[in-house]
Each structure stands twice: as structure tokens, then as C-alpha cells.
Amino acid sequence: MKIRRRNFKKDQEIQSFWPSFTDVMSTIALVLFVLMLLAYIQNIITGKNLQFLELQLDETEKDLVAKKQAISKAEERLQLIEDEVDRTRAEVERGERMLKLSQKEIEEQRKIIASSNEELGNLRTKLEQVAVLRLDILEKVKDSIEKEIGSTNEQGEQLVTIGDNANIIINESLVFDYNSYTIKNEGKELLAQFAMAFEKVLDDANVRASIDAINIEGHTDDTGNAQYNRELSTKRATTVVNFIMSSNPRLETKYGKYFAATGYSEFRPISAGRSETARQKNRRIEISIIIKDSNVQKIINDYLTEIDGMLD
């Protein structure tokens, strides 16, 4: 009896052990399955993430390559800009050097121009002195005549005037009747004074040294034809010269070589228009002093010699 009881217990214990073991194993298997499932899911998720990351990496690499290319192009442009800046800087520096040289040359030219202006001023002064000499001679003649017989006639007409061309002008009506080359008595007195005045002026050796000729000019108005007026104006001028010389033989003896007669007809009027007043002004005798060209040429040559000396 005892033996049976003992075996029953033992069988019971064996039977209760196996269910517990099975539960444990099932639990373990379930856990492993869950772990494997989680691992699988994790692998799926990880694979997708990896693929996404690979795509992202590929895009990043492409973007990086593009940016590197952009950087390379930017560097090339930057290098071009730097080269251009260097060229521009070099041109600016060259321009500054040229500007300094130009400024120096301009300053030198300014000095030369200033010196030339001064020399030209001196030349102008000398040439003006020649012109003044003509006027001075005629002024002396005019003053000498006016001291002897006055400045106007009985009708109040001016005996002698100095024209804009620095010639002495004698009104034709004081010397000749209209359309005539015969000297009037009033004109003879006036021309005799001219003969005396010119002798006094020409007695000055310095004056004679500058005079080439004293030209007596006859002028008419535009009435009639040019040929007739040319003959009339020439006859009047010649008559005046002849009378001056005959009234003062010393003048012809000493200085006759200086005097000449010229007829200009109607072609050098001093008053425009065809009125009688204008025509009366144009009918006239003019006395012109012609300065020797050699004197003027000497002044110019002296000036050129001075310039050559400065350049040397």
C-alpha cells in the first residue's frame, strides 16, 4: 500500500512538470518570434532608411559637384576680374605717369608760349613804331601847313585831314575845279606850303632812312567812265607833284627821288553811295608815305634771329 502511494505522487509530479516546461518554451519561442519579427521590421525600416539616405547622399554629392563647379567658375571669374583689375591698375598708373609728363610738357609749352607772346609783343611794338613813323611824318607836315595858312579856308572847309588809312587827304575842291586838272590859286598856296613842309621833314636823316616813297594819289568819283577818270586822276596827281617841285626847287634837287604820282580813278572811294556829298568826298588828293620794306624786313629778321638764339 505504501509503495503505491509513493508512485502516485511521483507520477503526479512528472505530469505537472511538463506543462510548465512547455509554457516556458512557448513563451521563449514567442519572444524569439517577436524579436525576429521586430528584427525583420527593423531591417525593412533600416533598408528603406538606408535607401533614402543613399538617395540623399547621391543628391548631396550631385549638389556638391554642382557647387564645386559653381565655385570653380566663380574662381575663374574672380581670376578674370583680378586680372582686369591688375590691367586697369596698370593703365591707371601709366595714365598717371603720362598725365604727369603731359602736365610737365604743358608747363614747358606755357613757358614757351609766354616767351613767344612777349617776343611777339616786342615785334608788334616795333612794327607799330613803323606805322607810327608814317603818321608822325604826315602829322608834322599837317601841323607845318596849319601854322602857316591855318586849318580851314574862308568857307570853313578843312584844308588837310588825316584819313583812317593814315594818309593826308586834300579836298579836291580846294585845289581843282570840277572835271579839271588845273590848280586853282587857293590850291597853289596850299601846295606851296606842302613843298616847304616836306623839305623840313626830309631834312631829318633818320626820317629819310625809313621812307621809300611819298606818293601823291589822285582820286575821282564814279561819274563818267573808268578810263576817263583814270586819266583825270593821274593828271591831277602829276600836276600836284610838278607844282610842289616847281614851287620849291630845293625840294626837287634834294629829295625829288622820293616823290611819285598815281591815279586811282574811282576805285578807292572813302564814302559809299552816289549822293553829291559822297562823290565830293571821293574827289580828293591823298598823300601817302611808303615805308621801306627793308626796314620792316630788318625788324622781322632781328626778331627771327632772337628766336633762333633762344631755341639754341
Can you give the CATH number for the domain in which 243 is found? 3.30.1330.60
Cα–Cα distance for residue pair 77/280, rounded to 1 Å: 90
Domain range for 244 is 130-299
Instruction: State residue 181's pLDDT score.
Output: 94
| β-bridge mates for residue 217, sequence order | 262, 286
CA distances, 206 to each of 82, 122, 142, 209, 235 (Å) = 79, 21, 19, 5, 32
Residues of the chain with pLDDT under 70: 1-19, 21, 115-116, 119, 122-123, 126-131, 294-312
In-domain check, residue 46: no
In-domain check, residue 156: yes
Cα–Cα distance for residue pair 171/259, rounded to 1 Å: 20
The pLDDT mean for the chain works out to 82
Structural Rg of the chain based on CA atoms: 63
Cα–Cα distance for residue pair 8/2, rounded to 1 Å: 10
Instruction: State residue 305's pLDDT score.
Output: 66
Domain count, the chain: 1
In-domain check, residue 242: yes
Cα–Cα distance for residue pair 162/286, rounded to 1 Å: 9
In-domain check, residue 53: no
Instruction: State residue 92's pLDDT score.
Output: 83
Instruction: State residue 5's pLDDT score.
Output: 52
> Pairing between strand 259-263 and 168-171?
unpaired
Residue 119 burial by Cβ neighbours in a 10 Å radius (0-12, 13-18, 19+): middle
User: What number of other Cβ atoms are within 10 A of residue 202's Cβ?
Assistant: 17
In-domain check, residue 68: no
Q: How confident is the model over 14-47, as pLDDT tens digits?
A: 555 555 767 777 788 887 877 887 777 777 777 7
In-domain check, residue 18: no
Write out the E strands in 187-277. Answer: 211-219, 259-263
User: What number of other Cβ atoms are within 10 A of residue 152's Cβ?
Assistant: 12
Stretch (H or E) spanning 288? strand 284-291
In-domain check, residue 30: no
Instruction: State residue 246's pLDDT score.
Output: 96
In-domain check, residue 140: yes
Instruction: State residue 2's pLDDT score.
Output: 46
Helices (H), 164-212: 172-175, 185-202, 205-210
Q: How confident is the model over 73-129, as pLDDT tens digits?
A: 888 888 888 888 888 888 888 888 887 877 788 888 777 777 667 767 766 776 666
Q: What pTM was estimated for this model as a whole?
A: 0.58
